[in-house]
Amino acid sequence: MKNTQNEVASTNEVLDITDTPVSASSFLPQVNNEGALVSAFTDVSNVFYSSIVDDGTRQTKAKIYTALNNSEGNFSELKEPIVVQDIMAHNVQLADDQTGEIIETVRIVLVTPEGKGYHAMSQGVMSSIQKIVGMYGAAPWVPGIKMMPRSVTTRRKFKTVTIDIIAD
C-alpha cells in the first residue's frame, strides 16, 4: 500500500499524482486467459487512497484496514461535529434506487485522530474535501479539522451533503 498525495482537478474529480484519472472499472476483477481472477488480488496498489502513512507495521496496517472497513457510521447522519485527521477513499458499485442500474461512485471515509471512520458517498462531500485539501493541504491534518455535515438542496432540486468547517 502506498500513500499518494492527490491533486484537485478543475473537473472536481480527484486525480492521482500522475494526473491520470482512475476509473472504478479498473478495480473490478479481471479474468486472464486461464479464467483465474488476476487483478482483484494482485494489483492492489491503486485500490484506495489513504492519507494514513503506512509505516509497514502491523499496527498501522490494522488501523488503515479498520478505518476503511469498519466505519462507525454515516457522516451525513452525524448530529455533532467530528475532528478529522485523515481521509480515505475507494470506489464502490451501487444499484440506483429507481432504475436498478449499477453506478460507480466514491466512498469517502473521514478518520478521527482516534482512528474512528465515518463514511460518505456524496458528491457534495467529495467536492468539500477537494476544497479543504486545496485550502489546508493534503491530510493528515495535525491538529485535526473539526467538520460537520450539512444537508443542502442543489439548484436542480437534488439533495446532497456538504461539509462545514467549525472554527474553534
- Supply 34's cell numbers: 486461464
Q: Is the pTM of this model over 0.85?
A: no
Beta bridge partner(s), residue 120: 108
Q: What string of DSSP letters covers 115-152?
A: S-EEEE--HHHHHHHHHHHHHH-SSP-SS-EEEEEEEE
Looking at residue 133, its amino acid is V
Going residue by residue through the chain (168 aa), what tens digit of pLDDT does each one get? Answer: 444 443 333 333 443 333 333 334 444 444 444 444 555 555 555 578 889 988 999 999 998 888 888 888 888 889 999 999 999 998 888 888 888 898 888 899 999 999 899 999 888 999 999 999 999 999 999 999 999 999 888 888 888 899 999 997
**Residue 54 CA: distances (Å) to CA of 7, 27, 58, 60:** 20, 21, 9, 6
- Supply 64's cell numbers: 488503515
Residues 92, 108: contact at Cβ < 8 Å?
Answer: no
Q: For the sheet containing 86-95, what is the strand order?
A: 48-50, 86-95, 102-111, 117-120, 73-74
